[in-house]
Amino acid sequence: MSGVQESFAEVFGYPPEGVWAAPGRINLIGEHTDYNDGFALPFALDRVLSVAAARRTDGTLRLRSRQEPRGAEIPVTDLEPGALSGWAAYPAGSAWALTRAGHHVGGMDLLVDSAVPTGAGLSSSAAMTCASALAMVHLYGIGSDRSDIARTAQRAESEFVGMPCGTLDQTAAMLATGGHALFMDTRSARTEHVPFDPPAHGLALLAIDTRAPHRLVDGEYAQRRSCCERAARTLGVPALRDVDPHAAGTLDALPDERTRRRVRHVVTENERVLETVRLLNAGQPREVGPLLTASHASLRDDYEVSAPEVDTAVDAALEAGALGARITGAGFGGCAIALVEAHRAQSCTAAVRDAFRGAGFTPPVAFEAVPSAGARWVSTVP
């Protein structure tokens, strides 16, 4: 029995009906493009959040986590935004979003166990809403496909938990496949699996959780979004996705230098995503390195969402011979990634650790990220 099954039996006193899992994700490139109708290229991690669950006949949802001391208990019929706070709002939100979509979800005991670090920008929250929704869909025989579940999970997080987010994280968690990144056109919702398998090319993709405290995340995020929306209106386009990157003088219509830099980030980042996809499809993953580094410079200087810890990680990785490195996730802390020759992974990690020690930062946590499968049904318990 896996750990999560045993824990379920200990907590609830009987075995679960099954176990479902959803991965964390890393965005390889395409940052702050999703709310501009643009492109992104996430992949799923080999680290998952697991959910063991069983139906109850009394309509009550009982929620527990191995990572949190407090659980929650609530009748499904009482679910509405604001009814629950804290972590339990994520799985409860999935039940609520399914009922809002017209499906029947009854009572359930649900226990969470996770290897996805929380709050590091690896999207443990989407792993939670996706794994929970998958368990509910399965146990209650709901006819939802993977894209439907991604939308359900997104609704759970944005409307029930109240965290404004696009669909990138949930779509990656549901639709990713091993050895590939997932190209997303956030306007059309079209996705495409793009070969991305660093180990097969003698490469390693290092993820470096800087453990930097997030600073001003919510307010800054909202400011970036509204700046982009205002700029699109000024330029007379539906979204910044529609700004022609090659038309000279386009940005002159914008009111100030800062807005021009914000727009330049979004426009050039979309181009970098498309170029990355082209290179990966051509079997040239090494050539992606400079695009990652250019993305970082753009996020640091034009979009101003980096943090000293992340810049330190990126600079140290590049000095140690990384092919490319960048901040990943919304920014103001969180994770950096570095694409390195596999034989340099260790020395690169050591260089980042040394740089953090020298700067007096909390030691980072580094690991190799291997593009892996999306959410899955792990097992049924007999």
Pairing between β-strand 60-65 and β-strand 107-114 as defined by DSSP bridges:
parallel
3-state secondary structure 313-332: HHHHHHHCCCCEEEEECCCC
Specify whether 197 is catalytic: no
Residue whose structure tokens are 């994520």:
90
| Touching ligand ADP, residues 58-87 (CB under 6 A) | 65, 67-68, 87
Nearer to ligand ADP (CB atom), residue 87 or residue 221: 87
> Which partner in Mg ion, ligand ADP, none is near 119 (CB below 5 to 8 A by kind)?
ligand ADP
> Which partner in Mg ion, ligand ADP, none is near 315 (CB below 5 to 8 A by kind)?
none
Nearer to Mg ion (CB atom), residue 20 or residue 87: 87
H or E element in which residue 311 lies: helix 308-319
Contact status: 125 vs Mg ion (CB under 5 A) = yes
Dihedral sign for Cα atoms in the order 103, 109, 115, 119: positive
Task: Mark the segment that binds ligand ADP (CB under 6 A) among 124-132, 175-183, 315-323, 350-358.
Answer: 124-132
Question: Closest distance between Mg ion and the C-beta of residue 167, in Å?
Answer: 12
- At 355, the amino acid letter reads A
- At 277, the amino acid letter reads V
CA distance 343 to 202: 8
Contact status: 250 vs ligand ADP (CB under 6 A) = no
The correct pick among 124, 171, 186, 372 for binding ligand ADP (CB under 6 A) is 124
> Which partner in Mg ion, ligand ADP, none is near 2 (CB below 5 to 8 A by kind)?
none
* Catalytic choice (169, 197, 311, 354): 169
Nearer to ligand ADP (CB atom), residue 87 or residue 303: 87
Nearer to Mg ion (CB atom), residue 123 or residue 328: 123
The correct pick among 59, 107, 119, 166 for binding ligand ADP (CB under 6 A) is 119
| CB-facing half-sphere around the CA of 2: CA atoms within 13 A | 19
Residue 28's contacts (CB-CB under 8 Å, 6 or more residues apart) are: 41, 42, 43, 181, 196, 205, 276, 288, 292, 328, 337
The correct pick among 8, 35, 39, 90 for binding ligand ADP (CB under 6 A) is 90
Question: Closest distance between ligand ADP and the C-beta of residue 234, in Å?
Answer: 31
User: What's the residue count for the chain?
Assistant: 382
Contact status: 276 vs Mg ion (CB under 5 A) = no
Contact status: 328 vs ligand ADP (CB under 6 A) = no
- For residue 181, the Cα-to-chain-centroid distance in whole angstroms is 13
Question: Closest distance between ligand ADP and the C-beta of residue 283, in Å?
Answer: 31
- At 21, the amino acid letter reads A
Dihedral sign for Cα atoms in the order 249, 259, 277, 158: negative
The strand order across the sheet containing 42-56 reads 68-75, 60-65, 107-114, 42-56, 18-27, 376-380
> Which partner in Mg ion, ligand ADP, none is near 171 (CB below 5 to 8 A by kind)?
none
Position closest to Mg ion via CB:
125
Contact status: 114 vs ligand ADP (CB under 6 A) = yes
- At 40, the amino acid letter reads A
Contact status: 166 vs ligand ADP (CB under 6 A) = no
Contact status: 27 vs ligand ADP (CB under 6 A) = no
H or E element in which residue 109 lies: strand 107-114
Contact status: 154 vs Mg ion (CB under 5 A) = no
Question: Closest distance between Mg ion and the C-beta of residue 125, in Å?
Answer: 3
Contact status: 43 vs ligand ADP (CB under 6 A) = no
3-state secondary structure 320-375: CCCCEEEEECCCCCCEEEEEEEHHHHHHHHHHHHHHHHHHCCCCCEEEECCCECCC
Nearer to ligand ADP (CB atom), residue 59 or residue 71: 71
Question: What tokens were used for 328?
Answer: 């990943």
Nearer to Mg ion (CB atom), residue 173 or residue 351: 173
CA distance 173 to 182: 10
CA distance 339 to 307: 20
Nearer to ligand ADP (CB atom), residue 63 or residue 254: 63
* Residues with active-site annotation: 169
* Residues of this chain that bind ligand ADP (CB under 6 A): 49, 65, 67-68, 87, 90, 112, 114, 118-125, 128
* Residues of this chain that bind Mg ion (CB under 5 A): 123, 125
